[in-house]
Amino acid sequence: MNPIIGITMSREHEQQQILSRAYSDAVIQAGGVPLLIPYTTSDSVIKEMSRVLDGLLLSGGGDIDPTLFDEEPLPGLGRIDPDRDEMEIALIEQFISQDKPILGICRGCQILNVALGGGMFQDLPSQKSDLLQHAQQAPRYHASHTIHIEEGTLLHQIYCKSVAKVNSFHHQAVREVLAPLRVSAVSRDGVVEAFESEQHRFVMAVQWHPEEMVHIDSDAANLFSAFVEACRQQP
């Protein structure tokens, strides 16, 4: 049977739950069955969802509450959604404890790192100098800058190369990455572009948006295929 993969969503006006179709299309293309996760902070519901789902895809979206990594809000901080933060951290904890696959994308990359004890840049342009353009002014499928992929990582195994081009739509970014996580890719300005767990079957996060590239980029398609295959191979 094809694995069932839960995908988190964003909210507008605290009522509408929204998700770009690109996420679910990418999961379907890779052989998975996408299931959109509704907002809830109920512990019992979150535990049951984590039991039923074979994998978790943490999607992109708004900013993350800096109090979660012991910082005060900076002027460049955008709109936050504390309920989303709470729900996604609870889901991450459940999936980590069950060693079920997780793929974090953009905001999903950041909340995964925070949930596992890491820190963040609240606003890259005001906190880090000599930056590349990380909020590209180009079509979403366009690969705008390069990344360096560390050899010996799962990401390197999937991409089969040390340098790749990715798209970029963010102003926040991962800063400290703590064990059992390791950085698996960085951009030329030193921004963390991907990390993965060294203790779990498949826990990976990328700062770019591979779901927007799967139809033209084999590397992005291979990333989703590897994630879906890991979800399929549950113990």
**pLDDT tens digits, residue range 6-39?**
999 998 877 899 999 999 999 999 999 999 999 9
C-alpha 169/C-alpha 95 separation (Å) is: 26
- Residue range 147-173, pLDDT digits in tens: 999 999 999 999 999 999 999 999 999
The runs of H, that is alpha helices, within the chain are 21-29, 43-52, 82-98, 107-115, 124-127, 154-159, 218-232
Active site residues: 106, 209, 211
Nearest to 40 by CA among 70, 9, 67: 9
Give the per-residue pLDDT at 1. Answer: 85
Nearest to 69 by CA among 29, 129, 112: 112
Give the per-residue pLDDT at 14. Answer: 74
Contact (CB, 8 A) for 223 and 206 = yes
The mean pLDDT of the chain is 96
Give the per-residue pLDDT at 129. Answer: 86
Nearest to 124 by CA among 169, 172, 157: 172
C-alpha 113/C-alpha 195 separation (Å) is: 9
